[in-house]
A and B are shown apart, each in its own frame.
Chain A
Amino acid sequence: MSKKRERDEYLEQLWYMKEKEDDSIESLKSSMDINYDRDVIEELVFEDMVELKEGAKKITLTEKGEDYARQLIRAHRLAERLLNDVLGGDYESGACEFEHTVTPELVDSICILLGHPRTCPHGMPIPEGQCCRRSSRTAQSSVIPLVELAIGQSARVAYINCKSDQQLHKIDSLCIRPGAVVTLHQRYPTYVIECEGSNIAMDEEIVSNICVWRKPEQSQEDGKETLTEPGRKGRDRFRHRRAGRK
């Protein structure tokens, strides 16, 4: 493991801990497990990325460290979105390495492409980037919220932003999941969408969390053909990659 990667892993771990409002060095030790290395911490302190408190019992990110970690987390979670839902691949192995190699500009491009997703597939928030605040939408943006479809138009689900596990399961149990074809039937007084032969009425809030591929499907049959293609490709590529590593 390169020095940079090792440091990045620590900073990411500290971000996760911050999300859980945990700042004890013990937790950091236990989650890094055998990879725990005192030297890395000292190095990070020296670079003013982290701060040790209460006689080295507590550890927190400094402002500089936080900015740096935010970039990493953002890239990591966006990559998960891209690989998991959109390409249908095995995200963990890919995403882990992804954030250490990309530039912020590339991360923003992916974010725009995906229509500024707010959460990763696990439901954790994706930190906002410049592009989200400007809510940039270039012509190439191919994933849009379901609410933006025209009435009667069908599209394939790319991914779903969900506020809770419960909600995700509920939506999943109605077969609304990445890859499914949904049709928007009605917008007012409330949204009605069709998925797998059943009509479902729902709030705007939930519909806007469902993101779909922009390209309209000619018919359901054709939609299913193209639907599996990118996913399959993605999966195969990763299978191949993993095999190569072993």
Chain B
Amino acid sequence: MSEKEKIQRADSGSSRSVKKIAIVGLPNTGKSQVFNNLTGEYTLVANYPLTTVEMKRTGCEINGEQYEVIDTPGLHCLYIHSEEELIVRDMIFKEAPDIIIQCIDANQLKQSLTLTADLLELGFPMVITLNAVDETARAGVWIDSNVLSGILDVPVVESVAVNGFGIKELKSVISRARRGRIALHYDEIVEDGISAIESELPAEMSFKRKVAILLLLADPFLVDYLREKYGQEMISRLQKEVGRLRGKFRGDFGLAINKKRSQWVAETAEKATKKQKMAPGKFSKAFGRLSRHPVFGIPILAFFLVTTFLLVTHVAGFLDKILSVVLLDPTVGYITRLLPSGFWNEFLVGDYGILTLGLFNAIVTILPILSVFFLMFGFLEDIGYIPNLCVLTKRIFARIGLTGKSIMPLVLGFGCKTMATLTTRGLQSRKEKFIAIYLIAFALPCSAQMGVDMAIFGRIGFKAFMIGYGSLVLIELCAGLVLNKIIKDEEKSDFIQELPAIRVPSPKAIATKTYYRLYWFLKEAIPIFLIAAAALFLLDKTGILDLTKMLMRPIVEDWLGLPRDILDVLILAIARHEAAAGLTLKMVDAGALNYVQCIVTVVITTMFVPCFANVVAMCKQLGIKTGLAMAFAINISAFFLAGILNWILVFTIGR
């Protein structure tokens, strides 16, 4: 899936007259949702952090004025912890947006106010949107937005972004964005230090005060940035000055500054918040706790898996049948009557027909499966279930060398592998990054793949699903163990992962998300399906296909134990995994694959060739050479391991 490209597609006709609005906030506070609401575009949203890893920009009109709106990845404060955050800070410093909209999750007011303090210190005109107020209200907490607005001196709008509430108000206050006010004065000695560094900074530089503070805090990324821009000499002078100040001040600047800010945050939050004495008991809280519980978490996971499996098998199977009856059969019948046989009949509706293998494969076979699966997956995403998996799987991942920050990308790989590969950018340890990218690309099925895999297994039973996916898990773990052994150790990264609150999802939001995912699938996949079918048709007609099948016979028939026609599936897999799965389904229905062959086919197509967008992302993270080498290694291992699986299955359950 290349949702990534959708998200990256950044077209901005930025001219100076267009004002820039940047939407910033902590991770998982609804920035992308506000972006969608403001601009009428659609970026993927979900109830967990790291959904947005790249900037997205678009032009839009608000109250008759043209703006360029920028959606950003999460930012905790201006002192940076990860690469994603760095991009956001760089954007703020370099582009100096005209207006900043800060998204605050009302459940996490204090955490967000830390960022507010930083932004106010920078002196940008700001508007605050206080999101998810419905949830705080239910929990018995009331945040007085008027008081908050009074303290900060910027407009504060209450909103429930998922339902689009509060967006009108937000639009109406945008023109009233203000610089705000913050009474944050540090101790005399810290203030002296700040002004001493400020005076050393180049005159034309903006945000001197904040830069000086960050230098006192020894922000490593900022030093690199300044070195690049102003040269080593400048940096040496600054570092000498900072060193002198640090020596003079026997305390720690970081602590002194953080402490002042924390005090301000605590006071502000206290003034703006009123709490009921009794908070109603929350089902969702209990559910969250159970879903990551070492004992109860597993049945919950199994429940979701089985439900999804049954839905995909039965509901999608039913839809498939209806579509076949009303769409596929009449069309094929009509064409056959019109063109009884010959080249055109074969080209359109033959074995490799552009309609049968191309268009109808996508619409009749794959679309129903993905609709059902994406609905279910969107539901799981929006209640905030998925990140809890990183708690459940933590120990297992530690065994295979993934300790800290790399767990979340791997869990996100079940959504879209390309996006997950991009989130590994934040990993500092090269070893972890390498292992994570390899494992994401290897035996991990992405959501679309999982959907169609389930449909295939649905034809032959749940036990096959357990065997097939069990093998994939085993393969993934072994690959992790091997990689962990052969790559030399580095320092472990810290594992600190915020878990989103379990929410009651909005049906409308899930429907919208599913709609867009299917729309992107159709728009992107149908041309590829058609081209792939045409290519297969051409290969078949010229005889190349038969020749290749004959040459590959020892591998396909003897080693993998599959019929030689499976090569068609593998060729289609190079184009699109869903297309391959569609053809596999057809072969299963036609009785061309037996039980073991069916499992082996699913396992090999899940591992074989990561999709094109994923390979691009791999090259982007690791460099072209390593990326391609890794893709190659994955393909070789896919054939090797699928063969081993075949022989094990043949000896244990027989042909």
With known contacts A189-B392, A201-B497, A173–B77 Cβ distance under 8 A: yes
CB-defined contacts of A168 to chain B, threshold 8 Å: 254
Whether B403 contacts A203 by the Cβ 8 Å rule is yes
With known contacts A121-B252, A165-B218, A189-B395, A202–B114 Cβ distance under 8 A: no
Whether B251 contacts A91 by the Cβ 8 Å rule is yes
Interface residues on B, range: 35 or more
Residue of A nearest to B262 (CB): A177
- Interface segment among B1-9, B93-101, B103-111, B346-354: the answer is B103-111
Residue of A nearest to B269 (CB): A196
Question: B81 contacts the other chain (Cβ, under 8 Å)?
Answer: yes
With known contacts A165-B218, A167-B494, A192-B391, A198–B108 Cβ distance under 8 A: yes
Interface residues of chain B: helix, strand, loop or mixed (majority):
mixed
CB-defined contacts of A189 to chain B, threshold 8 Å: 294, 391-395
Among B111, B254, B275, the residue within 8 A (CB) of A174 is B111
CB-defined contacts of A200 to chain B, threshold 8 Å: 496-499
Question: A166 contacts the other chain (Cβ, under 8 Å)?
Answer: yes
Among B77, B79, B81, B495, the residue within 8 A (CB) of A190 is B495
Question: B55 contacts the other chain (Cβ, under 8 Å)?
Answer: no
Question: A7 contacts the other chain (Cβ, under 8 Å)?
Answer: no
CB-defined contacts of B426 to chain A, threshold 8 Å: none
Q: How far is the CA of A221 from the CA of B254 in the complex (A)?
A: 29
- Interface segment among B285-293, B312-320, B624-632, B638-646: the answer is B285-293
Question: B570 contacts the other chain (Cβ, under 8 Å)?
Answer: no
CB-defined contacts of A197 to chain B, threshold 8 Å: 107-108, 501
Q: How far is the CA of A121 from the CA of B294 in the complex (A)?
A: 35
Question: A169 contacts the other chain (Cβ, under 8 Å)?
Answer: yes
With known contacts A196-B108, A196-B110, A96–B250 Cβ distance under 8 A: yes
Question: B166 contacts the other chain (Cβ, under 8 Å)?
Answer: no
Among B107, B247, B292, B494, the residue within 8 A (CB) of A192 is B292
Whether A170 contacts B391 by the Cβ 8 Å rule is no
CB-defined contacts of B252 to chain A, threshold 8 Å: 121-123
Among B289, B390, B495, the residue within 8 A (CB) of A185 is B289
Q: Smallest distance from the beta carbon of B216 to chain A beta carbons, Å?
A: 11
Question: A206 contacts the other chain (Cβ, under 8 Å)?
Answer: yes
Q: Smallest distance from the beta carbon of A158 to chain B beta carbons, Å?
A: 15
Residues from 240 to 273 in B contacting A, C-beta threshold 8 Å? 247, 250-252, 254-255, 258, 262
Residue of A nearest to B289 (CB): A185
CB-defined contacts of B79 to chain A, threshold 8 Å: 169, 173
Whether B496 contacts A188 by the Cβ 8 Å rule is no
With known contacts A92-B251, A166-B81, A206–B501 Cβ distance under 8 A: no
Residue of B nearest to A170 (CB): B81
Q: How far is the CA of A175 from the CA of B107 in the complex (A)?
A: 13
Q: Smallest distance from the beta carbon of A91 to chain B beta carbons, Å?
A: 7
Whether B499 contacts A201 by the Cβ 8 Å rule is yes
Residues from 52 to 82 in A contacting B, C-beta threshold 8 Å? none
Question: B217 contacts the other chain (Cβ, under 8 Å)?
Answer: yes
Q: Smallest distance from the beta carbon of A120 to chain B beta carbons, Å?
A: 9
Residues from 200 to 233 in B contacting A, C-beta threshold 8 Å? 217-218, 220
Q: How far is the CA of A91 from the CA of B494 in the complex (A)?
A: 29
Whether B111 contacts A173 by the Cβ 8 Å rule is yes
User: Which of A168, A172, A185, A200: most chain B Cβ within 10 A?
Assistant: A172
Question: B577 contacts the other chain (Cβ, under 8 Å)?
Answer: no
Contact with B along A176-188 (1 / 0, CB 8 A): 0100000001101
Contact with B along A185-215 (1 / 0, CB 8 A): 1101110100011111111011000000000
CB-defined contacts of B498 to chain A, threshold 8 Å: 174, 198-201
Question: A171 contacts the other chain (Cβ, under 8 Å)?
Answer: yes
Q: How far is the CA of A174 from the CA of B496 in the complex (A)?
A: 10
Question: B404 contacts the other chain (Cβ, under 8 Å)?
Answer: yes
Which B residues are closer than 8 A to A by beta carbons? 76-77, 79, 81, 107-108, 110-111, 114, 217-218, 220, 247, 250-252, 254-255, 258, 262, 275, 277, 288-289, 292-294, 390-395, 403-404, 494-499, 501
Q: Which 3 A-B pairs have the closest CB atoms?
A: A190-B394, A122-B252, A173-B76
List 19 extra interface pairs beyond A189-B392, A197-B501, A203-B403, CB under 8 A: A84-B255, A92-B251, A122-B255, A167-B494, A172-B258, A173-B76, A177-B258, A188-B294, A189-B294, A190-B391, A198-B108, A198-B499, A199-B288, A199-B501, A200-B496, A201-B495, A203-B496, A205-B494, A206-B495
